C-alpha cells in the first residue's frame, strides 16, 4: 500500500512539474508575441475578403503583373519571395497574395476547397486594385491552385512560372497525418517552437537577400503563423483539390517549371522531378529547368530564375 502511495505521489509531482513548465512556456510565448507586435506591422495592403482581412503586397509599375503564390505552410510569403521578385520589379508589377492563415492575413475557419482558395485570391487582387491577365508564379502546393485558375478562368492567366510547383500527381500517394499536423500546430501556438534552436531560420533567411530587419520580421511572423488551423484545413483538403484539378485537364498556356532536387519535398530526386517533367511534357511549348538545390528554389537560385523568367516571357511576347 505504501508503495502505491509513493508511486502516486511521484506521478503527481511529475505532472505538477510538467504543468508548471508548460504554463511558463506559454506565458513566455505570449509576452514575446506582444513584444514582437511592432515587427508584425503589415508590409503590404490589408484588404477585406469575405468579411476577413487578407494581405496583398505590391511593388513595381510594369504593365504585366506577376502573382507570387506561396507553398503550404510558408509563414511569410511576402518575405519568402523577396529575393526573387526584387530582381523583377523594375520590369513588372509584383503581387504577393498571403492566403488566410498566412503572413499578415487573418486565421479563419472556412472551407479550403480549391474553389474557395482561388476565389479568395482573385477577390484579394481585385480589392488591391489589380486586374487580370496575370503571370502566376506558384511555389509547391499552390501549383494546383494556379493550374485550376488557368482551367477555370483561362482569360485571366497569360502564363505559369512554376517555382518547384506541385502538380496533381504529386498527391496521389502522399500520406498526410492530420492528427500530427494538429499537434504540431498546438505546439507552435503554445510556444514550444521557441525552444527548438534554429527552427525559425528559413531558407529565405539563410540563403536569400533579406536585410537584418527583414530577417527579424520573418522570425516574428513565424512564431505567430506556424501551422495555423487554416493551414491545416488546407492540407486536409489538398488531395481532393488535386483530384479536381487532375480531372480538369492540362492547360495549354505558356508554362515554365523550375524543378528542385527534391530535398524538402518528402520525395527522392527522381520521383519528384518525374512528376513535373511528365506534366510539362504534355504542355505545348512547355519548358522545364532542373536546379541542383532544395525545394525553396527561389531562395537559392533567384538570379538564375529571375533572368529565366524575363527571357521566357519575352519569348512568349508577354512584357
What pLDDT does residue 1 have?
57
Average pLDDT over residues 48-62: 96
For residue range 137-173, list pLDDT tens digits in order: 999 999 999 999 999 999 999 999 999 999 999 999 8
Backbone φ, ψ for residue 293 (5° rounding): -155, 165
Residue 95 pLDDT exceeds 60: yes
Residue 6 pLDDT exceeds 80: no
Average pLDDT over residues 76-88: 98
**pTM of the shown model:** 0.93
Q: Kindly state the cell numbers that stand for 306.
A: 529571375
Rounded distance, CA 293 to CA 291, Å? Answer: 6
Rounded distance, CA 99 to CA 311, Å? Answer: 29
- Which of the four pLDDT bands, split at 50, 70 and 90, describes residue 4? low
124 and 219 Cβ atoms separated by less than 8 Å? no
Residue 184 pLDDT exceeds 90: no
Rounded distance, CA 167 to CA 86, Å? Answer: 26
Average pLDDT over residues 293-301: 98
| CA proximity to 273, closest of 287, 261, 265, 285 | 261
Peptide bond preceding 256 in cis form (omega within 30 of 0): no
Backbone φ, ψ for residue 138 (5° rounding): -90, 145
Rounded distance, CA 196 to CA 74, Å? Answer: 18
For β-strands 157-165 and 255-259, DSSP reports them as: parallel
What pLDDT does residue 9 have?
77
Residue 3 pLDDT exceeds 70: no
Burial 61-74 (b: 16+ CB within 10 A, else e): eeebbbbbbbbbbb
Rounded percentage of the chain residues whose pLDDT exceeds 90: 76
- Which of the four pLDDT bands, split at 50, 70 and 90, describes residue 47? very high
Which one-letter DSSP state was computed for residue 293? S
Rounded distance, CA 18 to CA 232, Å? Answer: 27
Q: Kindly state the cell numbers that stand for 111.
A: 472551407
Rounded percentage of the chain residues whose pLDDT exceeds 70: 98
Length of the chain: 319
| CA proximity to 98, closest of 52, 142, 57 | 57
**Which range is least confidently modeled, 228-237, 296-305, 307-316?**
228-237
55 and 120 Cβ atoms separated by less than 8 Å? no
For residue range 270-288, list pLDDT tens digits in order: 999 999 999 999 999 899 9
What pLDDT does residue 2 have?
61
Q: What is the mean pLDDT of the chain?
A: 93
Average pLDDT over residues 199-218: 95
Backbone φ, ψ for residue 252 (5° rounding): -100, 75
DSSP state string for 206-249: HHS---HHHHHHHHHHHHHSSS-HHHHHHHHHHHHHHHHHHHT-
Burial class (CB in 10 A: 0-12, 13-18, 19+), 76: buried
76 and 225 Cβ atoms separated by less than 8 Å? yes
For residue range 32-42, list pLDDT tens digits in order: 888 999 999 99
Average pLDDT over residues 227-237: 92
Amino acid at each position: 500500500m505504501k508503495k502505491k502511495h509513493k508511486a502516486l505521489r511521484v506521478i503527481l509531482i511529475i505532472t505538477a512539474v510538467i504543468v508548471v513548465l508548460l504554463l511558463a512556456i506559454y506565458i513566455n510565448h505570449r509576452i514575446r508575441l506582444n513584444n514582437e507586435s511592432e515587427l508584425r506591422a503589415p508590409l503590404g495592403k490589408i484588404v477585406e475578403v469575405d468579411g476577413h482581412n487578407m494581405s496583398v503586397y505590391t511593388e513595381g509599375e510594369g504593365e504585366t503583373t506577376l502573382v507570387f503564390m506561396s507553398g503550404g505552410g510558408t509563414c511569410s510569403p511576402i518575405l519568402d519571395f523577396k529575393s526573387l521578385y526584387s530582381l523583377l520589379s523594375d520590369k513588372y508589377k509584383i503581387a504577393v497574395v498571403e492566403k488566410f492563415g498566412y503572413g499578415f492575413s487573418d486565421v479563419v475557419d472556412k472551407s479550403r476547397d480549391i474553389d474557395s482558395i482561388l476565389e479568395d485570391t482573385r477577390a484579394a487582387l481585385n480589392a488591391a486594385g489589380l486586374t487580370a491577365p496575370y503571370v502566376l508564379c506558384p511555389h509547391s502546393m499552390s501549383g494546383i491552385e494556379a493550374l485550376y485558375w488557368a482551367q477555370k478562368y483561362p482569360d485571366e492567366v497569360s502564363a505559369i512560372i512554376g517555382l518547384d510547383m506541385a502538380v496533381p500527381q504529386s498527391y496521389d500517394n502522399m500520406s498526410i497525418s492530420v492528427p500530427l499536423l494538429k499537434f504540431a500546430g498546438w505546439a507552435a501556438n503554445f510556444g514550444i517552437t521557441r525552444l527548438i534552436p534554429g527552427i525559425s531560420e528559413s531558407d529565405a533567411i539563410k540563403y536569400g537577400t533579406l536585410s537584418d530587419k527583414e530577417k527579424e520580421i520573418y522570425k516574428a511572423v513565424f512564431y505567430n503563423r506556424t501551422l495555423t488551423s487554416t493551414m491545416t484545413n488546407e492540407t486536409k483538403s489538398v488531395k481532393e483539390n488535386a483530384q479536381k484539378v487532375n480531372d480538369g485537364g492540362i492547360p495549354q498556356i505558356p508554362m515554365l517549371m523550375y524543378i528542385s532536387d527534391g530535398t524538402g519535398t518528402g520525395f527522392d530526386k527522381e520521383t519528384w522531378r518525374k512528376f513535373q517533367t511528365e506534366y510539362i511534357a504534355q504542355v505545348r511549348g512547355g519548358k522545364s529547368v532542373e536546379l541542383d538545390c532544395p525545394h525553396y528554389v527561389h531562395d537559392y537560385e533567384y538570379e538564375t530564375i529571375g533572368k529565366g523568367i524575363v527571357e521566357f516571357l519575352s519569348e512568349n511576347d508577354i512584357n
